A and B are shown apart, each in its own frame.
Chain A
Amino acid sequence: MYAETRKSLDLTIVTALVVIAVGLALAGIDFLPLRFLFGLPLVLILPGYALVAAFAGPTLGAAERLVLIIGLSLATTALGGILLNMTPWGLQAGSWAILLGTVTLVGGAVALWRRRTSPDQARPFNFNPGFNPRQLALLGAAMVVVVIALGVARFGVEDQSPTLTQFWMIPGETNPSSLRLGVISTEAPTSKFRLQLESEGKVIQEVATIELTPGERWEKTVELSAEQSPKGKLEAKLYKLDSQGVATLYRWASLPAK
């Protein structure tokens, strides 16, 4: 009995993983590490593993099984998606989980049946890496260096990010007198701006003096009164103030005359 259980330990683990992954998807649990841990094998490994276990004989080695597991998992997901698209449920987290879980469980059941009826033909996947401590240390060091390499590459991208100031003015779709104005600035250390609405060279409204720390966003909706409503082109001008308080036109937006 113990030997029987041991022979099917891999299939027991596969079944447990499937049940948890499908449960997480159906329950809509959004805890990312948990979903990643169980969702990843559900898509990329488990369907292929169960299907390969269902048919593979002893002539297929570890490498052969590995490529078949990956390939069958991808094929099951892609072709299953075409079928799901034809159903009323479409391609949703729940429908994906049920499809992939069902394929895995059916494949696992066939594999279990084969192992009981013809144990010589259907042996469990027995891949023992057999690394010694020195080899494990070298592989561990390699992993650490790869993580550092990724960190250096990401630093290079972040380091390249420019100082940027975005400015916008969006009139209301139904009420054009209502203006949505906004600024985002990544300029360091802090940036000081003056925002004013102008028409035909005259200031209609001093909207605000804005001080933003890097990455900070400022947004305001301004309602123009009937008196403020411009006859000509309406311009929203964002002036940048230097340390002396001198204003330089920095960004601008405009709306045509009505």
Chain B
Amino acid sequence: MIVSTPDEARAIERTQPHQDIVEYQSADQELAIIPPSSAWGWFPALSLIAACSLLMISLGYTLNRRGEEWGASLFWVGLVVLFAPIAARLLSAEASRRERLALIGLLGVSIYLVKILHSPVNFTFHDEFIHWRTAIDILRTGHLYEPNPIIPVSPLYPGLQLVTTALMTQTGIAIYGAGNLLMGLARLMLVLSLFLFFEKLTGSQRMAGLGALLYMGNPTFLFFSAQYAYESLSLPLAGLALFVAARRQQEHGLTRLGLNVTLILTLLTIVITHHLTAYAVVGFLLLWTLVAYLSNLMARLRYKGYTPRLPGWNFVSTRLGLKKWFPASSSGPVSGEVLELQPGPGGAALLVLVASVAWLVYVATFTIGYLAPVLRDAVVEVVRLIAGEASGRQLFKGSVGQVAPFWEQVMGYGSVGLLILALPFGILHIWRNQRRNALALTLAVMGIAYPATLGLRFTSAGWEVSNRTSEFVFVAVALLGAYGLAWIWMSGRRKSWEWSTAFVVCVTVIFMGGVMVGWPPFARIPGPYLVSADTRSIEWEGIAAADWSRDGLPKGYRMAADRINNLLMLSQGQQRIVMNVGDGVNVGTIFMARELGPIEVDRLKKGHIRYLVVDKRLTTALPYIGIYFEAGEPDTGVHKTPIDPVALAKFDKLPYVRRLYDSGNIVIYDVGEISGVR
């Protein structure tokens, strides 16, 4: 339906917010006219409110760093103040398209800034250090594919680091600035692309705004997808690819050609940037192609006068009263009717499939060995859980027994529950209104996978898979959720402010619950040092030791350390780290054994280790993430007591060991005489 005036559009939006509506102001008209300033609506005022909420969050962080408990309260209140007003405005019928786009961009970037405020001076998230090292290696050598011992696949997917190093060499800024600038721009591209994608699919700006809002409720959105990591770049590129793939079909001539080229370049960039995103895009495009094929097949059959139904469908649907929900299509060709077939993305799917396989075979073969154990462990654990052989992972409980507060659990369950409640309504809406739209049907199929991915959260190995899957599955969940919630909202037929407030509360609960489900409590808010707690363990003494090792130690030797000092020594210290994943040597025993026996000496020799970094703080508490060094160390994930201080002090008494550096908690030893590396 095309309307010509804003009033007409608003009237329809008020009465049928989930129906297909074409805006009064199409994109080309918008280009041609200079909109009145009122088109920005509440955007400037909401920008100020968003800025104030960021200030609250920043104060919350600072107070928590000082050990003030109410810092956490400020953080949560700040998040609500950031999200809810923008959500309320996006859900209203009055906002213009320009205002909605601006608000989605504002919210996406503001949520990204929450992460920047968390780490405002240097990188503090685990994966950031690894990709930092890959970027340093590119800058140092001028070439790609230098080995990275902690995540060996990082240099094999260099898209992120290529853009970062290009930015660094052209602007002269350091990696922290270049990386964060890039991530911020990618975040803006992601949220705008999703809005445009949902708008194309639903034909409604309002539904597009709601869909983009719900996507922000995915558990990885606030922190994981905002860190300096390859996935944080590939995901926005995938969002852009989705939008372009959907949009190009309505264009003609050179614009269509340009969009096709854009799609190809974007897909190829995803292939060289991140393995899982590339495979997710392959899967989605293949599914879309299949659905489009089946949809076209059905259309052809209908055109020829045959309406395919399952055997006995008429009997069942009549008995159960389903005909109302699944109306029969018109049978037989209608005079003058044109057979409309939907082009599927078969070419794009084939391209990205071939490119992914070629990259895997010729460049990134190690990816198989990297991903396979993670997926295998998840599947095995799920099977064991179903068979009753395993007890499963307890939700909202950390590896050292820390339990999330009750209200966080309520919000987490509420978030998931609301989405699951909305999903069937969304699927039903698509079936009734868009079942001939292959893309919408594909997303409906994809959305069904969401509850299944939640099941993985009950296993230790599958939790991460489930969390990582959410950023892809939520594209579908957001659309279905938007349709579903709009349906529920409209079914009320009440336009009272209480009803609208309840709707905003629901969307806010989905967002807040996502934050709580997706990131462990100790890592959300910066604070005093914690043992082996990734972002909470990055502090000045470790950074100072890494700085010293970069300038003070001879180059080209190998070093072993705990998980946290590994990260710092790899990136800031520019050392060659030895780990099981990269070198096949599990160094945990070397540190944790009370005495340096033959096994430990053998590992020192096998790893050609020259330097050991000992952090005495490891003896003061259990590791927050379940490991001190890396998976495979003694008592991985089930430590009952902290490391014995005698174990770490043994190096002081050993002959042939040089004690080179001491900063109180951190000591660096030269064990070259034992390992034979001089």
Report whether chain A binds chain B.
yes
Contact status B193-A67, CB under 8 Å: yes
Residues from chain A with Cβ under 8 Å of B664 in the complex: 164-165, 251
Q: In the complex the two chains form, is B55's CB within 8 Å of A149's CB?
A: yes
For chain B residues 98-114, which have a beta carbon within 8 Å of chain A? 101, 113
* Binary B-proximity of A227-243 (CB < 8 A = 1, otherwise 0): 00000000000000000
Residues of A within 8 Å of B243, CB to CB, are 67
User: A7 at interface (Cβ–Cβ under 8 A)?
Assistant: no
Complex interface: chain A residues within 8 A of B583 (CB): none
Pair B170/A74 contact, Cβ less than 8 Å: no
Closest Cβ of chain B to A197, distance in Å, is 13
By a CB distance below 8 angstroms, the chain A residues around B541 are: 162, 164
Given A79-B272, A153-B58: A139 in contact with B47 (beta carbons within 8 A): yes
Shortest distance between the CB of A23 and any CB in chain B (Å): 12
Say yes or no: is A225 at the interface (Cβ < 8 Å to chain B): no
B528 to chain A: which residues have CB within 8 Å?
A: 160
Cα A96 to Cα B192 in complex, Å, equals 28
Interface of B is mostly: helix
Bitwise, A124-136 to B at CB < 8 A (1) or not (0) is 0010111110111
Does A208 interact with chain B (Cβ within 8 Å)?
A: no
Partner of B121, one of A21, A93, A157: A157
Interface string of A66-91 (1 = CB under 8 A from B): 11101110111111011001000111
Shortest CB distance A17–B (Å): 12
Q: Say whether B65 contacts A81, CB under 8 Å.
A: no
Cβ contact within 8 Å between B172 and A63:
no
Asked if A32 CB lies within 8 Å of chain B CBs, one says yes
A93 to B181, CA, bound (A): 19
User: Given the known A-B contacts A57-B254, A63-B101, A121-B254, are A70 and B188 also in contact in the complex, defined by CB atoms under 8 Å?
Assistant: yes
Contact A58 to B28, CB < 8 A, known contacts A78-B272, A79-B265 = yes
**Quick check: is B54 within 8 A (CB to CB) of the other chain?**
yes
Specify which of B169, B269, B657, B660 is in contact with A96 (CB 8 Å cutoff).
B169
Separation of A102 and B539 alpha carbons in the complex (Å)? 43
In the complex, A112 has a CB within 8 A of chain B? no
| Chain A CB within 8 A of B470 CB | no
Contact B171 A59 (CB under 8 A): no
Return the chain B residue nearest A118 by Cβ: B254
* B507 in the interface (beta carbon within 8 A): no
- Chain B residues near A57: list those with CB within 8 A: 251-255
Min distance, Cβ B674 to any Cβ of chain A, angstroms: 10
In the complex, whether A170 has a CB less than 8 A from a CB of chain B is: yes
- Assuming the contacts A159-B62, A167-B663, asked whether A71 and B237 have C-beta atoms less than 8 A apart, the reply is yes
Q: If A72-B262, A74-B237, A168-B662 touch, does A146 touch B39 (CB 8 Å cutoff)?
A: no
A91 in contact with B142 (CB, 8 Å): yes
A143 within 8 A of B: yes
B165 at the interface (CB under 8 A from A): yes
Q: Is B144 an interface residue (CB 8 A)?
A: yes
Contact across chains for B269 and A150 when beta carbons are under 8 A apart = no
Contact of B39 (CB < 8 Å), options: A25, A51, A130, A251 = A130
Query: Which of A8-16, A37-45, A188-196, A198-206 lies at the interface with chain B?
Result: A37-45
A168 touches B28 (CB 8 A): no
Contacts of B254 in A (CB 8 A): 55, 57, 114, 121
Q: Which of B32, B48, B237 contacts A141 (CB 8 A)?
A: B48
- Mark out the residues of chain B between 170 and 229 whose CB falls within 8 Å of any chain A CB in the assembled complex: 170-173, 181-182, 185-186, 188-189, 192-193, 195-196
CB pair B58–A131 under 8 Å, yes or no, is no
Minimum CB–CB distance for A81 against chain B, Å? 3
Q: Give the complex CA separation of A89 and B169 in angstroms.
A: 14
Contact of B345 with A by CB under 8 A = no
Q: A61-B28, A131-B44, A165-B663 are contacts. A55–B121 as well, Cβ < 8 Å?
A: no
* Interface size band for A: 35 or more
* A4 interfacial by beta-carbon distance below 8 Å: no
Residue B523, interface by CB 8 Å: no
**In the assembly, what is the distance between CA of A176 and CA of B27, in Å?**
74
Q: How far is the CA of A173 from the CA of B552 in the complex (A)?
A: 12
- Quick check: A43 and B167 within 8 Å, CB to CB? yes
Is A138 a contact of B44 with CB atoms below 8 Å?
Answer: yes
- Enumerate chain B residues within 8 angstroms of A40, measured Cβ to Cβ: 167, 170-171, 181
Q: Mark B651-668, 1 if CB is under 8 A from A, else 0.
A: 010011111111110000
Contact residue among B28, B170, B186, B189 (Cβ-Cβ distance under 8 Å from A39): B170
CB <8 Å contact, A169 and B261? no
Bitwise, B638-678 to A at CB < 8 A (1) or not (0) is 00000000000000100111111111100000000100000
B117 near A149 with CB under 8 A, answer yes
Interface centre among A52, A64, A71, A256 (most CB of B within 10 A): A71
A44 neighbours in B (Cβ, 8 Å)? 167, 181-182, 185
Measured CB to CB, the nearest residue on chain A to B162 is A81
The answer to the question of A257 belonging to the interface, with a C-beta cut-off of 8 Å to chain B, is yes
Question: A128 near B34 (CB under 8 angstroms)?
Answer: yes
> Quick check: B170 and A60 within 8 Å, CB to CB?
no
Q: Tell me whether A21 and B170 are in contact (CB under 8 A).
A: yes
Smallest beta-carbon distance A256→chain B, Å: 5
CB pair A59–B27 under 8 Å, yes or no, is: yes
Known contacts A39-B167, A39-B172; A82 and B55 CB within 8 A of each other = no
Neighbouring B residues of A5 by C-beta, 8 Å: none
CB-contact partner of B62 in A43, A126, A155, A256, under 8 A: A155
Bound Cα distance A68, B261 (Å): 11
Compute how far the CA of A93 lies from the CA of B142 in the bound complex, rounded to whole angstroms. Answer: 10
Per the bound structure, the CA–CA distance linking A123 and B233 in Å amounts to 30
- A252 and B669 CA atoms in complex are apart in Å by 12
Q: Which residues of B contact A171 (CB under 8 A)?
A: 658
Q: Is the CB of B120 within 8 A of A154?
A: yes
Structural contact, B188 and A81, CB atoms closer than 8 A: no
Among B138, B142, B196, the residue within 8 A (CB) of A67 is: B196
Give which listed residue, A139, A170, A173, contacts B44 with CB less than 8 A. Answer: A139
Structural contact, A54 and B258, CB atoms closer than 8 A: yes
Given the interface contacts A97-B170, A168-B662, does A59 sit within 8 Å of B159 by beta carbon?
A: no
B45 at the interface (CB under 8 A from A): yes
Cα distance A136–B48 in the bound complex, in angstroms: 11
Min distance, Cβ A106 to any Cβ of chain B, angstroms = 13
Assess A61 versus B539: contact at CB under 8 Å? Given A78-B159, A92-B142: no
Q: Please, which residues of chain A bring their CB within 8 A of the CB of B31?
A: 58, 60-62, 123, 126
What residues of chain A lie closer than 8 Å to B656, measured between beta carbons? 256
Which of A67, A85, A131 contacts B37 (CB under 8 A)? A131
- Known A40-B167, A55-B257; judge A68-B51 contact (CB<8 A): no
**Does B166 reach chain A (CB closer than 8 Å)?**
yes
Residue A253, interface by CB 8 Å = yes
Q: Across the interface, name the chain B residue whose C-beta is closest to A24.
A: B170
**Which chain B positions have C-beta within 8 A of A155?**
62
When A43-B170, A74-B269, A131-B40 are in contact, do A90 and B34 touch as well, CB less than 8 Å? no
- Nearest 3 CB-CB pairs, A to B? A55-B258, A61-B27, A156-B62
A-B contact pairs, 11 of them (CB 8 A): A35-B170, A78-B273, A79-B268, A91-B138, A91-B165, A141-B51, A142-B48, A153-B61, A160-B66, A160-B539, A170-B660
Extra pairs beyond A32-B172, A153-B62 (10, CB < 8 Å): A36-B172, A39-B167, A59-B250, A130-B35, A135-B40, A157-B121, A160-B539, A253-B660, A254-B658, A257-B655
Query: Could you list which residues of chain B lie within 8 angstroms of chain A, going by C-beta atoms?
Result: 26-28, 30-32, 34-37, 39-40, 43-45, 47-48, 50-52, 54-55, 57-59, 61-62, 65-66, 101, 113, 116-118, 120-121, 138, 141-144, 158-159, 162-163, 165-167, 169-173, 181-182, 185-186, 188-189, 192-193, 195-196, 233, 236-237, 240, 243-244, 247, 250-255, 257-259, 261-262, 265-266, 268-269, 272-273, 526, 528, 539-541, 544-545, 548, 552-554, 652, 655-664, 673
* A residues lining the B interface (CB < 8 Å): 21, 25, 30, 32, 35-36, 39-40, 42-44, 51-52, 54-64, 66-68, 70-72, 74-79, 81-82, 85, 89-93, 96-97, 100, 114, 121, 123, 126, 128-132, 134-136, 138-139, 141-146, 148-150, 152-162, 164-171, 173, 182, 184, 251-257
